[in-house]
Structures are given as C-alpha cells and as structure tokens.
Amino acid sequence: MVNHMFLEDVNNLISDDKWLIFQNEYNTEVNSRYETLFTLTNGYMGVRGTFEEGSDGERSGNFIAGIFDKSDAQVREIVNAQNWLRIKLYVEGEELSLDKCQLIEFKRILDMKKGILFRSMLIKDSKDRITRIEGYRFISRSDLHRSAIKLFVTPVNYSGVVGIESIIDGTVLNSADSPKYRVKHLKVANNSSLSKNGVYLETATVDDDTRIATGSTVRIYHHEDEEKNNVAKFKRFLPLGERSIEYFEFDGIESKTVVIDKFVITYTSRDVRKDLLKTTVEKELFAFAGEGIDKELKRHIEVYEELWSVADINIEGDEEADKALRFNIFHLMSSANENDPLVSIAAKALHGEGYKGHVFWDTEIFMLPFFIYVYPQAARTLLMYRYNMLDAARKNATLNGYKGAQYPWESADTGEEETPKWGFDYKGNPVRIWTGDLEHHITADIAFAVWEYFRATEDIEFMLNYGAEIIFETARFWVSRCEYVKELDRYEINNVIGPDEFHEHVDNNAYTNYLAKWNIKKGLELINMLKEKYHEHYHAISNKICLTNEEIEKWKKVKEKIYIPYEKSKKLIEQFEGYFDKKDYVIDKFDENNMPIWPEGLI
C-alpha cells in the first residue's frame, strides 16, 4: 500500500491492506480499546498499544509471562511491569502532548503480517510550530528479550532545540484506574546508568523478590546519514525515584528528519540469576544497539512469515470476515511461548489485566485446538504447563477431600487455586464467587486436551512421560468425586457449576458428567494400551502414582453408572437436573455494545 503520511522507507515496510488494522483518529474515549487491539506480544512479554508519549486516560501495560505477585491484591495476579515505551518530545521546552496540542493528521496501523505497530501524526503546538512524528515499534519474535522503537521527527515549519526524554517508568500499578483496587506489585531494586551507554531499571516483586530488569539505550541521527552519526548535543541521566530517564537535545532544522532509535532489553530472574541480571542486560543491549534495529526486525519478520505460512486462512468474497479471522489468528499465535513449559496463555493473554492474567479452561478447550493443528510444538508446551502443575492439582484435590488431581479453576504460576472468593455485582454488592469451589469440569477439559493432542500428533513420548499421568490422576479424581445413589443404582456429581457459569449449586450437569465419564473411559483405554504395548512404562507410572488393579475395577463400575440427564420423550439432553423446570426469560434489550441487558426480575 502507499500512504502519503509515511516516509518512503517506512511505507515500504507496511503490508497490504488485508493485513492491516487502522486507527484514523485520536479519541481518548476509545484509547483502551485500541490499546488492547494494538497490543504486541511475543509470548514472553506483552505490551499494550499505548502511545510512546502517553495520553489522557491510558491504561499502560507491560506483562511478562510467569511474573505474578499477590501483595495487597485478593489473589496472585500478573504484574504490570515497568513501562519502557516512554519517549516524550519537547520543542523549545514545550511538550508535544496529544491532549494539549492540535493534531492535524493522525494514523496508527497494526501490521498483522509482520507484528509491527506503525504510527504517524502531524502535531501543532501552542506557538504554531508543526512537527511530523512517525515510526514504528516491535517486540521481537526472534529474540524474545529484544524490543525496539524507531521514530522519525521532522520540524515542518521551524528550526529550534528539540528535547527527548527516554523513560523506563517503574511507577506503574495494577488496577491503576480503580481507586478501590489499586495495587503496587513492584519495588525498585536498581536505578542506574549503564557503563557502555543507556539506562537500567530493575524492580522486585513484593512477595517473592522476583526481579524484572529493563535496559534501554537511544541513538539519535539524521535520516540521510548512512553512518548514523550522533546529533545529540546534550545528554543527562536522571534516576528520578522509580523512573530511569535519559534526556537529550539536538538542533531541529526545518524540513530535516532526525531518527530516534530506542533499543530495549528485558530479562527476569526467571531467565538468569539475580546477580547476573544487570551484566546480562548491558551485554545484550550493547550487542543489539551495535547491530542496529533493521537486522533484528528482518529476523522478527521472518519468524512471522514462517508462522503465517502455516496459519493463514483466506475467506474469499468477505473481506471483513477475512480480516477478522486473521486478527484473531495473529493475537493467538503471538501469545504462545513454545520454549517455556512453566507458563500458559491466560484468558486475556498478555493483552491486559483482565482475569488477573490467570489461566482457565479457555486455553485447553478454545485455544489449544488451533495450536494442535497449526503449531503442535506450542500445544505440547502449553500442556507441559499443566503437567508441571500436576503436584499442585494433587494438593488441591487432597485439600478438597478428593483423590487424584483436581485442577484449579484459575491458575497462575504455582498451579494453586487463584479464584477470588468474593467479587461485586453491578450495584456494588458483595457476591460470593463459587467457580473456584464448584466449577470442576476444568479437570476433565485438561484430560480431553491431552488426548486431543495425542490423537492428532501421535506424540507417544509425550503421552508415556507426561500425558498418561495427567489422564490417570484426573480420572482418579472423578471416581472419588462421584457419589453412589443406591436406590437409583447410579453415580452422580452434585453441587457443581457447569460451563454456563450462571447456574450455581446444580446437580448432574450434563457437560460435567459426560466429560467425567469420558475421562475415566480414556483412562481405562490408556491403561490397556500401555499394558499391551508399553509394559515397562505402565509399571513405572502405576508404581509412581500407586495405581492398583482393585482401584481400576472401581473405575469401571463408576464409569458404567455415571448419570447423564436426558429426557427420552423429547430426545433432549437436560443441561442439569431440573433445568427444564426453570422459568424462561426472554432477552429483548441490548446495550450500546449489543450485549444483552439482564431481564427484569432475574437479579
């Protein structure tokens, strides 16, 4: 595509329209929407689509997979880490603010083919000086620790001193827009300059002292200068409390474009030892800046080319649906880190604080099928997260009086139950949240995902070493969860919440009971297969988890007699016992987002 708002070398990077999501006007009321839509992530780190210079009402977010903290929150939640995006521009001391200056032109573009966020604007300050600012940023899929911003700054109708603040901001909060729930999860551990150039901010989580280390350095040069010689005539480092700031000045010349390259490196104590963090970041930052942005960007784009060569789907005749599907694929495939078996994909991925960064059944039932058939290695890694949390699931079962493994409804980095016990309804009244106590179907959902992965990939090594143990322990849970009703000669699963989540404390939810039955059935099939073909593996697993023949006989009895509510006369599966006796409510009112308004009398 050709866009007159962009310099030629930026324009040549931008893909065809079918790959692009546009924002054509700046409006603070829709900031948060575009921040989510324009989130860039590589599975290791996700950064919301806020502006480099900041804006009114923004909800900035930098989320690193696996970094959780409780502090003053209800439960462990994903930590909003220090914000390294900040680049503020000043003309003769006046800040070029989106909210105080006049925007003559404005555009942002998410390029889904390449995982790049482009921007362009023409901004007029209070003294009628016009500045063109454009450029792009990316979070590398090639080297997960590298991120970069490239801005082109052109004084259109003036010459004068231009100031640049490059900031790593550690003042970030979780739930920053909610006075009732704001939480500070980070303490600054180190705010310093780097000996080879740049700044460094290291933070520590409150509970576990998990370290997050960010280093950045800036290059400023004339656009036409192939050698990229520095044009900054003044520089100052300011360790201002929880902010690490580099300030530069250069002589802005009318119609002459200056390029600002910001290189960023992120590591945590999940990656390297705490005492090696600063030296690691400095070494990596020096190498990145020495190499330049273009080479890393090329490798980053090549990774996306490879991903899209497998994942792209074309819908002919419906451009909107075609782009919508591509949008969903882009964010989904950007969210997996196939190299980290201790993290999974949260319900909101790394795109925001929604659901506190917790992992639900959404991953196994709704996301995993995509990865199984498109990126099976990523699917395997996501299932390894569940295997690595198996001991915590065993502990959860024991705490609740059951056998085997009971997976939590909401999971974070420990695998323990993280569902808050209380929330608030639409009127601010406290409401007991029962999903963590009663929505047990997730345990069978995970077993189902393990089997689906194996069915599609025939990855017997995974099944023998990891998957079988999950299926056996979840089957064992369901057998202990079932209650025998002698007068009806059947097993029931009472007092649960099914997948609709609105009907609480119901008996014999069809989905739950059916999958429990399936889970036990697959466990028995797997036992037979292992005994027949992989005898030593079966002995190893059965010895490890103390699985006896007597217990297996109990499994068979329970499996045969699990009750599935079904009305034979109408040939209908009843969602749960008594569902057909419930009063029907008709939804006929919708809000401005086309979401249903609850009918009168329902709450």
> Does pLDDT of 145 surpass 80?
yes
pLDDT of 259 > 60? The answer is yes
**pLDDT number for residue 1:** 44
- Banded pLDDT at 597 (limits 50, 70, 90): confident
pLDDT in tens, 468-491: 999 999 999 999 999 999 999 999
Domain boundary among 236, 257, 273: 273
List the helix and strand counts (H, then E) for the chain. 16, 24
Indicate if 501 belongs to the active site: yes
Q: What percent of the chain has pLDDT over 90?
A: 91
| pLDDT tens string 369-409 | 999 999 999 999 999 999 999 999 999 999 999 999 999 99
Q: Indicate if 173 and 263 belong to the same structural domain.
A: yes
- Please tell me the pTM assigned to this model: 0.95
Cα 483 vs. chain centroid, distance in angstroms?
A: 38
Residue 285 tokens, joined: 């930052």
Angle at 230 between CA 262 and CA 156, to 5 degrees: 80
Q: Which helix (H) or strand (E) holds 462?
A: helix 460-462
Query: The tokens 């919440």 sit on which residue?
Result: 497
Residues 380 and 238 in one domain: no
Percent of the chain scoring above 70 in pLDDT: 99
**What's the token pair of residue 326?**
């591509």
- Report the sign of the C-alpha dihedral through residues 89, 93, 95, 100, in that order: negative
In a domain? residue 99: yes
Going by pLDDT thresholds of 50, 70 and 90, the confidence category of residue 602 is confident
Note whether residue 601 is domain-resident.
no
Q: Using CA atoms, how far apart are residues 360 and 343, in angstroms rounded to an integer?
A: 12
Give yes or no for residue 428 having a pLDDT over 90: no
Domains contained in the chain, number? 2
Whether residue 424 has pLDDT greater than 90: no
Based on the fold, state whether residues 357 and 269 are members of the same structural domain. Answer: no
Confidence band, pLDDT 50/70/90 cuts, at residue 4: low
User: Strands, DSSP E only, in 269-339?
Assistant: none
Q: Is residue 304 part of a domain?
A: no
- Asked if residue 220 and residue 134 are part of one domain, the reply reads yes
**Residue-number span of the structural domain to which 335 is assigned:** 328-572
Residue 596 lies in a domain: no
What DSSP string describes 398-421? HHTT-SS----SSB-SS-S----S
Q: What is the pLDDT of residue 180?
A: 86
> What pLDDT was estimated at residue 47?
98
Q: For residue range 430-440, list pLDDT tens digits in order.
A: 999 999 999 99
User: Cα separation of 7 and 29, whole Å?
Assistant: 29
Does 595 map to a domain?
A: no
Looking up tokens 């099944």 gives 463
Q: Of the candidates 229, 256, 273, which is a domain's last residue?
A: 273
User: Please, how many CA atoms are within 13 Å of residue 39, restricted to the half-sphere of its CB?
Assistant: 31
Q: What is the mean pLDDT of the chain?
A: 96
Q: In whole angstroms, give the CA distance from residue 38 to residue 118.
A: 10
Last residue of a domain, one of 235, 252, 273: 273
437-467 residue pLDDT tens = 999 999 999 999 999 999 999 999 999 999 9
Question: Are residues 339 and 245 part of one domain?
Answer: no
Query: DSSP secondary-structure letter at 595?
Result: P
Instruction: State the CATH number of the domain containing residue 565.
Output: 1.50.10.10
Q: Does 367 fall in a domain?
A: yes
242: which strand partners?
Answer: none
Same domain, 392 and 480: yes
Do the domain assignments include residue 87? yes
Q: Where are the beta strands (DSSP E) in 195-300?
A: 199-205, 211-222, 234-240, 243-252, 258-268
Active-site hit among 501, 525, 560, 567: 501
pLDDT class of 603 with cuts at 50, 70, 90: low
Q: Which residues contact 568 (CB under 8 A, 6 or more apart)?
A: none
Q: Per the domain annotation, does 471 fall within a domain?
A: yes
**Sign of the dihedral defined by the CA atoms of residues 479, 392, 454, 548, in that order:** negative
> Both 347 and 441 in a single domain?
yes
Query: Per DSSP, what are the bridge partners of residue 263?
Result: 148, 217
Q: 209 and 84, same structural domain? A: yes
In angstroms, the CA 79 to CA 60 distance is: 12
Check whether residue 249 and residue 390 sit in a common domain.
Answer: no
Q: CATH code at 99?
A: 2.70.98.40
Same domain flag for 235 and 344: no
Give how far Cα 119 sits from Cα of 259, 264, 528, Å: 14, 19, 59
**Tens-digit pLDDT profile for residues 535-564:** 999 999 999 999 999 999 999 999 999 999
pLDDT at 299: 98
247 and 336 in a single domain? The answer is: no
Same-domain check for residues 236 and 333: no
